[in-house]
Structure 1
Amino acid sequence: MGREAFWGYVFITPILIGFAVFMFYPLIASLYLSLTESDGINPSSFIGLENYTTLMADEEFLNSLKVTLIYVAGTVPLGAILALLVAVLLNQKIRFVNAYRTAFFIPVITSMVAVATVWKWLYNTDYGLINGMLAKMGLYEPPWLASEEWALLSIIIMSIWKGLGFNMVIYLAGLQNISVSLYEAAKIDGANGFQRLFHITIPLLRHTTLFVVIMSIINSFQVFDQVYIMTNGGPADSTSVIVFYIYQNAFLFFKQGYASAMAYILFIIIFIITFIQMKITNRKDVV
């Protein structure tokens, strides 16, 4: 081993130690914990796959899985489409474009706790700004967070707004790599704006879109903060997502082995969806 390689390993050792202590060990420990009956206080007892088989008959877990899937289906496609449209608009040569980009990105770096609290006030049915404006226009005032039909939709809207800036920046980076000559050639051939968007921009942003979608799915499956702050899983478990149900079992019901099993089920779901997406994209590349 050369001198440069030796010092390279020396410099990355703290990172490897941090990964082992804070990532690898908890990963293995939680896997073992999922095979036990543990409350985090008394000694755990090994029960094998019993936690996993119990999950399959747990109606609350199945409901949280359904709610999470609805949340993912609501946030990921719409969030990606809106981010792409905003990125295309802000990729033009317009005045104050940097100010507009900054305005869209500010929510990304703002604490989710602060954002969720503000939106909870905005959604308030009695003195919230949104319903106040709707009332002045004579429009319907939805019972946002107080209704089973509207609560999850309310969180979806807020989450899309919160993450729009991040996806926008990713798309902007992708747009910068598209040669201007392609658009100029399309203009000469008589292609309008929509044709250039659908035949040049979107196809050439395929890999960027894959990254945005995968990251959005991972983040959406792990949604917790806004649910905990805005609805606490209610009303009537209509916003009880998987991570919130894991939190309840681990820290409120003291079923940490059961919660660990749910966490691994969540990991498997995310892994399978990501794997399928990457396989589909690779096939399109071959074609």
Structure 2
Amino acid sequence: MTPAATAVTAKVAAHRAARRARWLPHLTGWGFVLPATLVIVGLSVFPAVWALLLSLQDGDLLTGGSYVGLRNYADLMGDAELAAATGHTLLYTVLFVPGSVALGLLLALALNLRIRLIGFYRTCFFVPYVVSAAATGILANFVFDPDFGIVNAALKAVGLPPMGFLQDPDQAMLTLVVISVWGGVGMPAVVYLAALQDIPRELVEAARVDGGSGRHVLRHVVLPQLRPATVFLVIWQTITALQLFDLVYTTTKGQPLDSTTTVVFYLYRQAFQLFHSGYGTAIAYVLFLVTLAVSGAVLWRSAR
């Protein structure tokens, strides 16, 4: 072998060795995460495909039904009960999302102050979020009980008439919004608090040196820096609102007079109480597409 050929062979071998050294960490990492990834993807893809096939049938969860194609999806258009549940869900979403995000921002601004026992206060506001919705619903049943609840006892003590709350068709959904905001405001507060602490202190101090008051600094410096967190929270809280179920299940069961029946609770009733699993799955897929469209619209609007 000539010296030139030997040099070429050595160069090729060195290149292959460098490529192996570059890919080895990636292969090692995938070797660790691939089994878990396959399990997670399998547990996600299989139910999704099975549910899609189920939505094209008219059977229940126990026996196989006949293939009906898109009839379940067509039936959604004329379902008056589903339309009412959709209206209840939209009302809840319109009230819960802005309320929780705005209140979370106010709490974050307060929790970002340097005061004594600030860690204790932060924990107190976040604890309701980590409590399960089932426990929150059970507690709410006692607090808002028309006869023995704490809230009506307080109203009576100040001379105000008692309220129906969860047993009044005109007040039940608003009461659920209040309970949800109380239990879910910890998430926006923590996200906003982290975003506030990530704002460069020099930026705020420069705005104050230039003569900006606290109100102007908040509006023109702080809030623009919080825009990514706001987009994330609006999407997150919207998805949470559209999927409201557990709080309804543990408090009102969709009552009184179906005034708190949401889309997901109506889906549950169709699939697991009336055993119309194909129809219920069709509702689930439409809800998924709506959630995806809303999230995409918020991201597109934020990008602009």
Say whether the fold is shared (TM-score over 0.5).
Answer: yes
Instruction: Name the CA distance, whole Å, in 2 between partners of 1:226 and 1:187.
Output: 45
- TM-superposition CA deviations, 1:213-260 (whole Å, max 9, x none): 100001111111110111000111110001101111111000110000
Q: CA deviation at 1:105?
A: 0.5
Query: How large is the Cα RMSD of the aligned pairs?
Result: 1.2
Instruction: Name the CA distance, whole Å, in 2 between partners of 1:26 and 1:32.
Output: 10
Q: Which residue of 2 aligns with 1:88?
A: 109
Q: CA deviation at 1:94?
A: 0.9
Q: CA deviation at 1:193?
A: 2.1
In the alignment, is residue 225 of structure 1 matched against residue 246 of structure 2? yes
Instruction: Name the CA distance, whole Å, in 1 between partners of 2:255 and 2:282.
Output: 23
Aligned partner (choices 270, 273, 279) of residue 249 of structure 1: 270
> Could you tell me which amino acid in structure 1 is paired with residue 125 of structure 2?
F
Q: Which residue of 2 aligns with 1:211?
A: 232
Q: Which residue of 2 aligns with 1:72?
A: 93
In the alignment, is residue 13 of structure 1 matched against residue 30 of structure 2? no
Q: Which residue of 2 aligns with 1:194?
A: 215
Q: CA deviation at 1:21?
A: 2.9
Q: Which residue of 2 aligns with 1:110?
A: 131
Instruction: Name the CA distance, whole Å, in 1 between partners of 2:184 and 2:84.
Output: 25
- TM-superposition CA deviations, 1:194-214 (whole Å, max 9, x none): 222111111111111000110
Q: Which residue of 2 aligns with 1:33?
A: 54
Q: Secondary structure at the match of 1:149?
A: coil
Q: CA deviation at 1:179?
A: 1.3
Instruction: Name the CA distance, whole Å, in 2 between partners of 1:241 and 1:195.
Output: 41
Q: CA deviation at 1:6?
A: 2.8
In the alignment, is residue 175 of structure 1 matched against residue 196 of structure 2? yes
> Could you tell me which amino acid in structure 1 is paired with residue 289 of structure 2?
I
> Could you tell me which amino acid in structure 1 is paired with residue 114 of structure 2?
K
Q: Which residue of 1 aligns with 2:255?
A: 234
Instruction: Name the CA distance, whole Å, in 2 between partners of 1:86 and 1:176.
Output: 14
Q: Which residue of 2 aligns with 1:265?
A: 286
Instruction: Name the CA distance, whole Å, in 2 between partners of 1:5 and 1:271.
Output: 32
5+ long unaligned stretches in structure 2? 1-19
5+ long unaligned stretches in structure 1? none
In the alignment, is residue 144 of structure 1 matched against residue 144 of structure 2? no
> Could you tell me which amino acid in structure 2 is paired with residue 230 of structure 1?
T
- TM-superposition CA deviations, 1:109-161 (whole Å, max 9, x none): 11211111011110001010011011111124221011111000001000011
Q: Which residue of 1 aligns with 2:73?
A: 52
> Could you tell me which amino acid in structure 2 is paired with residue 186 of structure 1?
A
Decide which moves more: 203-212 or 192-201.
192-201
Aligned partner (choices 153, 178, 188) of residue 157 of structure 1: 178
Instruction: Name the CA distance, whole Å, in 1 between partners of 2:287 and 2:177.
Output: 20
State the identity %.
36
Q: CA deviation at 1:57?
A: 0.2
Q: Which residue of 1 aligns with 2:63?
A: 42
Decide which moves more: 153-162 or 37-46.
37-46
Instruction: Name the CA distance, whole Å, in 1 between partners of 2:60 and 2:118.
Output: 54
Q: Which residue of 1 aligns with 2:16?
A: none
TM-score (norm 2): 0.90
> Could you tell me which amino acid in structure 1 is paired with residue 141 of structure 2?
K
